[in-house]
Structure 1
Amino acid sequence: MTSRDFSTEDFLQHPGFRKWVLEEDATEAAFWADWVRQHPDRQGDLLKAKEMLLLIGSEHTPAATDEAATWSRILDTIGSARVITLPRKRSFIRRWMPYAAAVAGIVAAAYLVQLNYGNKEVRYDTVMGELRTIELPDHSVIKLNVNSNIRYAKSWDKDQPREIWLEGEAFFSVTHQLNSQPFIVHTNDVDIRVLGTEFNVNTRRVQTQVVLAKGKVQLKLNGPEAEPITMKPGDMIVYSAATAALTNKQVDPEAYASWRSKELRFNEATITEVIRSLQDNMGITVELADTAIGSQTFTGTIPLDNIEVFFRTLSRSFDLQTEQTGTKTYRIK
């Protein structure tokens, strides 16, 4: 069994986990912080185990010979909430008093953790080359692009908006609720308010780009006295709160969400725009020997696992040559 599948008792018995919690070991702290980043859905379980161990303390570690039976009794007691009547023999009472205290500590910890972490945020992160599909509490679905993250409350009240915070890029398929519960996506530049729709949001490069595929959304710009903007399918709005620059035009929504199929689709895009997209989605850097090349336009599809398709097309269309100058760096001349 890997640490991904650890139960509460597995955490409590793990030497590294105990060293982190009880001794505040810096190396172990870094390990478990990285573990949470890899398994964000298990963060609540990890914190619950931490609270339990802090309350139980190191003196209540069961002996190796009876640890399995002891933990079984403790967890069974928590699960069923039975009242245990102990025999009157003093030796038996002395033997089990530490575990009775442990049970009380665990029950108290579980209650405290529920209060402290029950409504905490859920966060998902992706790295370069990783796409992730996430189902939200309302059964809406988010497709998260590479090098991006989202966060939201673990549970949503029916009389409150469903709120998401995004950094990077994601495609949203939002379910409509019978009570018309609003769905709001927050970025540094805009708040996107919807009832049920599909749209792509890209927050890279100090701006937010919203492309609407279906339905209707309203944008509230994060700027002084900015009027809300209602979008219709095919609209693309790009806004930067830092510069107050705003553009609005009609596009093909599928082209801007083509990354979901692990490809990038372009229609009369400038070479400069294509290079920026390659950097965002593939983590590569492309240098132009002549900046005039950047104004040329490109139409076509680039697989995210085969950059050579792009370079071959440039070579045929514009008589350009590409050389690889590093692991993920190229130069076009």
Structure 2
Amino acid sequence: MAFSVTKDLFQNYLAGRTTAAEAEAVAAWLAEPTNQALAEPWMRRHWDALAAAPASIPVAAEEPSYDALLNSLHLKLGFDAPVPATVAASRWQRWAAAAALAGTVAGGGWLLYSQRVLAPQEVATAYGQVDTIKLPDGSEATLNGHSTLRYANSWAANKPREVWLDGEGYFSVKHQPNNQRFVVHTRAGFAVEVLGTKFTVYRRRDQARVVLLSGKVRVDFDDQQRPDVILKPGELLETRDSQPRAAVHKAVRTAPYAAWKDAKLVLEETSIAELATRLQDTYGVEVVVNSPELSERRMTGTVPVGDLEVLLQALQETFHLKATREAGRIVLSDNTAAK
């Protein structure tokens, strides 16, 4: 059942009066950056309750006074000049702690939302763009098209190295002498924890997956009733929002899942319907397959990935397809007669 997030539902969420399904819906709504403009005024109206939160809630040692906290919130909302990042960060930490005390944090959604303040570095790729980012510890993250990565300017040696990913990313993580953890947070209901390894993380539409190329990772589900999953090199873990507890864990050939970082598209018994979805997600263009029969056709092979026109030309020549531009979309049709 879908829930419309209203002010009343939000207030019930803060007070811990929502059902599990309602709480999950509000948490997911808060995790969407496009809802921030509406959510922030609602948060501001609850600031007095935050100031009265029990002293047992842990806050930073340098926690400013209530006046300073309220001022920092106003500044965050754009009423005045900016304030130091440490003030804004501690304010958001305390607000999140108060929400957690009321039983309002569900499925990690609020963590992802609040990190927009706590993880100030943000790198986003356009459709069709691939970009490699050097992280503070020397690790590297390569983003596929239409993806976003957020992380802190620096990482303390005694805390996990954390990043937040939307879209698709390839990670090459440097091992640290103190075995410092590296954590990739997703909105798929799990986080990926590693020490030193190479792996890909994918989160689009209702699907999420982790593919391990080398090393070792642990997939830590937000649902504490689900056991962690340890992946070995050459293994995949895949989940869908529609069946969150029906994860697929199996051995795979890793090339099709990581070749995009090397400007290649590797297809292994890939249906044209799945190919159309990949093109839409990566290049931001509507792709239509003109017959159910063609949608089911499967392809195996490798084609170079340049710009979209180069890719379409390669697909046409390699797999005997015809790609036609029609009214701002691409229509794929059968061209086997041209063989």
* 1:266 Cα deviation from its structure 2 partner: 0.9
Matched, 1:206 2:211: no
- Aligned residue in 1 for 2:180: 181
Rounded Cα–Cα distance in structure 2 between residues aligned with 1:330 and 1:134: 34
- Aligned residue in 2 for 1:129: 128
Instruction: Note the alpha carbon deviations across 1:205-254, whole angstroms, 9 max, x for none.
Output: 22211110000000012336111000001111111345213112222222
- Aligned residue in 2 for 1:263: 264
- Aligned residue in 2 for 1:65: none
Rounded Cα–Cα distance in structure 1 between residues aligned with 2:264 and 2:329: 18
Residues 154, 248 of structure 1: CA spacing in aligned structure 2 closer, same or farther, 3 A cutoff? same
* 1:277 Cα deviation from its structure 2 partner: 1.4
Matched, 1:313 2:318: yes
Query: Gapped runs of 5+ residues in structure 2?
Result: 1-74, 90-117, 335-339
Residues 331, 269 of structure 1: CA spacing in aligned structure 2 closer, same or farther, 3 A cutoff? closer
3-state SS of 1:257 partner: helix
- Aligned residue in 2 for 1:274: 275
Per mean C-alpha deviation after superposition, the further-off stretch among 270-279 and 184-193 is 270-279
3-state SS of 1:168 partner: strand
Runs of 4+ deviating beyond 6 Å: none
Asked whether the 8 Å contact 1:325–1:331 carries over to 2, the reply is no
Give matches, 1:36-51, under 5 Å: none
Rounded Cα–Cα distance in structure 2 between residues aligned with 1:275 and 1:162: 35
3-state SS of 2:319 partner: helix
Residues 243, 222 of structure 1: CA spacing in aligned structure 2 closer, same or farther, 3 A cutoff? farther
Give matches, 1:106-117, under 5 Å: 113=84, 115-116=86-87
Rounded Cα–Cα distance in structure 2 between residues aligned with 1:219 and 1:159: 21
Bigger Cα Rg: 1
Asked whether the 8 Å contact 1:152–1:163 carries over to 2, the reply is yes
Identity rate, percent: 33
Rounded Cα–Cα distance in structure 2 between residues aligned with 1:285 and 1:241: 23
Rounded Cα–Cα distance in structure 1 between residues aligned with 2:224 and 2:261: 35
Q: Which has the higher helix share?
A: 1
Instruction: Give the alignment's TM-score, normalised by structure 1.
Output: 0.61
Asked whether the 8 Å contact 2:169–2:201 carries over to 1, the reply is yes
3-state SS of 2:243 partner: coil
Instruction: Give the alignment's TM-score, normalised by structure 2.
Output: 0.60
Instruction: Note the alpha carbon deviations across 1:68-105, whole angstroms, 9 max, x for none.
Output: xxxxxxxxxxxxxxxxxxxxxxxxxxxxxxxxxxxxxx
* 1:322 Cα deviation from its structure 2 partner: 4.3
Rounded Cα–Cα distance in structure 1 between residues aligned with 2:86 and 2:281: 40
Instruction: Indicate the structure whose relative CO is greater, using CA pairs within 8 Å and at least 6 residues apart.
Output: 2
Rounded Cα–Cα distance in structure 2 between residues aligned with 1:159 and 1:218: 20
Rounded Cα–Cα distance in structure 1 between residues aligned with 2:225 and 2:275: 34
Rounded Cα–Cα distance in structure 2 between residues aligned with 1:177 and 1:141: 14
Rounded Cα–Cα distance in structure 2 between residues aligned with 1:293 and 1:207: 23
Rounded Cα–Cα distance in structure 2 between residues aligned with 1:120 and 1:224: 25
Residues 195, 297 of structure 1: CA spacing in aligned structure 2 closer, same or farther, 3 A cutoff? same
Asked whether the 8 Å contact 2:276–2:289 carries over to 1, the reply is no
Residues 324, 120 of structure 1: CA spacing in aligned structure 2 closer, same or farther, 3 A cutoff? closer
Letter in 2 for 1:134: I
Asked whether the 8 Å contact 2:290–2:331 carries over to 1, the reply is no
Asked whether the 8 Å contact 2:273–2:296 carries over to 1, the reply is yes
